[in-house]
Structure 1
């Protein structure tokens, strides 16, 4: 007797909805100010900063911002400001050493056993602190020629057992294109895990549609989906639903955040982020010290304050709600725990 297999995930009746929402994203800083009832003249909006690194923010994410509040933590993450154009010693175009770690078109090798594949340069949102805001995506197009060079670089190194899809945001690609990539990766026998770094389930939760969930559920490896939320207000019922759909596929869902001045640099904000994320089914993973990329110096929190906040967080929360406080140092073989860095210990984390 032939038994029935699992019921396939049914396609959404409007499968193009997330693409339309993407196209409708706000790109004009003054339109954004108007939607929030703010005077653009008092926000220190920089046309030069917007020309260098464009504003892009989905309207659903804007709906979570507080009207009339120029210091809203979500607004602060996306608004181009004059501060971005000020020269900042110690801040560079390639803050984390992506260039020297390039092992093939779109493939970055920094850590033992792992290969990061820059799947695309596209994002649904442009975060002003982005460490790849100056990345040469046109020269590092992993999707060129059907991923051939990237796949060849990964296949040639049997020491790689985990592939990390990053970008840009890999889930900005059509699901059919993602499937073509993972089908090719499945032919490489030494790959045992897949990780996806994505902000889309947070900023554009409609992207987690039935087609994406079906693709994710059918992958042949254990999968970790690492979200990126910096503040509890980034979660709402739509994000909760997207996370639930991800978890239903069997994926492990984690969150990494960046410690940002004026956004989440208080123990109350960090605790709320961990607790709100966990309520949605997301485990805290990393709290990153800011990558020192040109244009982001106004977000930096000094190490002493970061360590103090992390210590307070560990006192307040259960251990599983406390993310690891780390910094990425160019040339290191893993993320460096901040306390170890301060103490001169060179140990690293995954």
Structure 2
């Protein structure tokens, strides 16, 4: 069993020369590209040749930070990063079996913004916002307006956690939890820290990937103060998402005692090849991140064009296993509503 020293678990933000300026990430978030035509223009593409971009944007708005757009290949409409964020006419199709709540999360909302599906852990909708709007997102239709707790409602949620002594882990999710301010996150984590039966703080986030400057001094400060073991599950689908700035952000997190894992989704036209999946695992490890889950596609309305069959996914993973050591192999899983855990395929 690997343990971390108390100095790592309780450290404050390190005095590092590469720390981004505080608040810079918020300016980048506010300046994200929010127009599909503008995104195409930046990449040297003719927006008129992208059918359905405007219609898709009206269904689920485009949001792409400049730092993420800069990693896309110029004048390549098939770029795997671009495909994740650019609306297409395919989004307007509604094949049978595709629904707005594929994981049936509404049935497990125990409090406003609190989802309790699995034993020992609860998920908190910490922020309704994301830094990037991924077209395949299973929560693209999530009723965030009904799951944004006020301060008094957060107190009710915290009472729920205090009363259930079987809970060991609080998961911050969203949206993206790191889209919330450090002041709000510090307030929440301090209160989670005071619940004695909680052992771990897990965060599911894409922000350190799409805006690496999010990992700044104020974030590292409140992370360093908690007694809870810290796990950050990043969401990276393709090796090209990881540039030097992402690696430096991950190094800052690791030095603050954060265990870094990755979950990805198998997506048609993005990473549905053995070469792409192998390159992703290798690049993750270079950045200090361990592959964790490879999710089978969730059938959410508007994203059917990303679907990869379970049979195809199984075949890819079988071949991938011949190329990678076990510690770089993500577990292929499907989340089935009503099951007690993720289901390995």
- Give the TM-score band, short-chain normalised: over 0.9
Q: Which residue of 2 aligns with 1:115?
A: 122
Mapped to 2, the partners of 1:121 and 1:308 lie a distance apart of 36
Please point out which of 171, 181, 195 is paired with 1:174.
181
TM-aligned CA deviation for residue 145 of structure 1: 2.7
Q: 1:187: Cα distance to partner?
A: 2.1
| 1:269-323, Cα deviation, whole Å (9 max, x unpaired) | 0000000010010000000001111111100000110000000111110000000
Distance 1:167 1:295 in 2: 19
Question: What CA distance in whole angstroms lies between the structure 1 residues aligned with 2:282 and 2:13?
Answer: 33
In the alignment, is residue 252 of structure 1 matched against residue 273 of structure 2?
no
Which residue does 2:190 correspond to in 1? 183
Contact 1:94–1:131 (CA under 8 A) maintained in structure 2: yes
Q: Does 1:83 align with 2:90?
A: yes
- Residue of structure 2 in register with 1:73 after alignment: 80
Give CA deviations for 1:126-168 in whole Å, capped at 9, x if unaligned: 0000011111111111354361222122222111111100000
SS in structure 2 opposite 1:196?
A: strand
1:93 alignment partner, one of 87, 100, 106: 100
Q: Deviation digits for residues 42-65 of structure 1, max 9, x if unmatched?
A: 122332221121000001100000
**1:152 maps to 2:159:** yes
Q: CA deviation at 1:188?
A: 1.5
Query: Which residues of 2 match residues 190-205 of structure 1 at below 5 A?
Result: 190-205=197-212
Q: 1:64 aligns with which of 60, 66, 71?
A: 71
Retained in 2: the 8 A contact 1:142–1:149?
no
- What is the root-mean-square deviation of aligned Cα atoms in Å? 1.5
Give the secondary structure class of the aligned counterpart of 2:106: coil
TM-score, scaled to structure 1: 0.93
Q: 1:285 aligns with which of 285, 292, 298?
A: 292
Measure, in 2, the Cα distance between the counterparts of 1:77 and 1:8.
33
After superposition, residues 38-53 of structure 1 pair within 5 angstroms as 38-53=45-60
Structure 2 counterpart of 1:163: 170
Query: Residues 13 and 337 of structure 1: is their aligned pair in 2 closer, same or farther, counting only changes over 3 Å?
Result: closer
Match of 2:44 in 1: 37
Q: Which residue of 1 aligns with 2:234?
A: 227
Look up the match of 2:247. 240
| Structure 1 partner of 2:329 | 322
Identify the match of residue 305 of structure 1 among 299, 308, 312: 312
2:111 is the counterpart of 1:104: yes
Quick one: structure 1 residues 6 and 133, their matched pair in 2 at CA, closer, same or farther if it must change by over 3 Å?
A: closer
1:209 aligns with 2:216: yes
| Alpha carbons of structure 1 residues 13 and 140: separation in structure 2 relative to 1, 3 Å | closer
Distance 1:336 1:13 in 2: 39
In structure 1, how many angstroms separate the alpha carbons of the residues matched to 2:57 and 2:318?
A: 37
Which structure has the higher relative contact order (CA within 8 Å, separation 6+)? 2
Equivalent position SS for 1:25: coil
Q: Does 1:9 align with 2:9?
A: no
Contact 1:117 1:142 in 2 (8 A): no
Query: Given that residues 267 and 309 in structure 1 are in contact (C-alpha distance below 8 angstroms), is that contact kept between their aligned partners in structure 2?
Result: yes
